[in-house]
Amino acid sequence: MSGAGGTATARLDTAAGDIPVDTPRLPAREAAESELSRPMYHENDPNFLQRALNQFWDWVAGVFDAAAGAAPGGPAGLAVLVVVVIGLAAALWWRLGTPKHSSRSADALFDSDGPRSAAQHRAAAEAHAAALRWTEAVQERMRAIVRSLEERALLDPRPGRTADEAAAEAGRTLPEHTARLRTAARSFDDVTYGGRTADQSAYLSLRTLDLELDEAKPLLPGTSRGATG
């Protein structure tokens, strides 16, 4: 009896051992993900910035690979093209120089630090003259002339007006000073845009013109020149 029972038990054990352990797929995957999410497995992972940089450089490498494949001669041909483009850019830069504003902006005549009165421009001009900075003195005196004409309503305030435009417009109401106004505007342009240096005589000429214009009587519309005396 015991022998038969032992044999039966052994068969059951053997049969039970032959049955494979079959864990369902979803719980197994969740268990693996839970295990791999532990911090100990990610201590040496790159941070967000490093991952972004790696993706960027991978993209750059892909672009260059594509360009090299399309360029004649492969990578060597691409390198030659890059050198040629850089050489052309350098030649253009040397030939044309640093880009400059060729058109007059709203600050062509007045500074961009806010409007100032004619008296303030005159004071600045005198301060520059006292320090023998004749170029700056000429600039400020021309601004004083135009601002004074605006304050007297002989010129409409207009931020984009240039010295030449101001002289031409002022000459219509002050015809006796037209030539000197144009000379003053030319002096301003020469030292501001032409790279020239003003001297004492240039400043004194503008100063005298400023004082005379301050007392000049304008030629009103419909009035002849003989009636302005």
Could you give the percent of the chain with pLDDT greater than 70? Answer: 57
| Amino acid 58: pLDDT | 82
The predicted-structure confidence for 30-45, as pLDDT tens digits, reads as follows 766 666 666 665 556 6
Structure tokens at 132: 């023998």
**What percent of the chain clears pLDDT 90, i.e. is strictly above it?**
38
What does the angle CA 221 – CA 225 – CA 229 come to, to the nearest 5 degrees? 110
Q: State mean pLDDT over 186-195.
A: 92
| Residue 177 or residue 87, greater confidence | 177
What pLDDT score was predicted for residue 90?
Answer: 74
Does the pLDDT at position 131 exceed 70? yes
Q: Which residue has better confidence, 126 or 89?
A: 126
What is the pLDDT averaged over residues 201-215? Answer: 94
Each as own residue / partner, the long-range contacts of residues 181-187 (CB below 8 Å, 24 or more positions apart, any chain) are 181/145, 181/209, 184/142, 184/145, 184/209, 185/142, 187/138, 187/142
Taking only the tens place, the pLDDT of each residue in 58-110 is: 877 776 677 666 656 666 666 766 776 787 677 666 655 544 444 444 345 76
pLDDT for residue 2 is more than 80: no
Q: Does residue 132 have a pLDDT over 60?
A: yes
Q: Give the range among 52-56, 115-119, 209-213 with minimum mean pLDDT.
A: 52-56
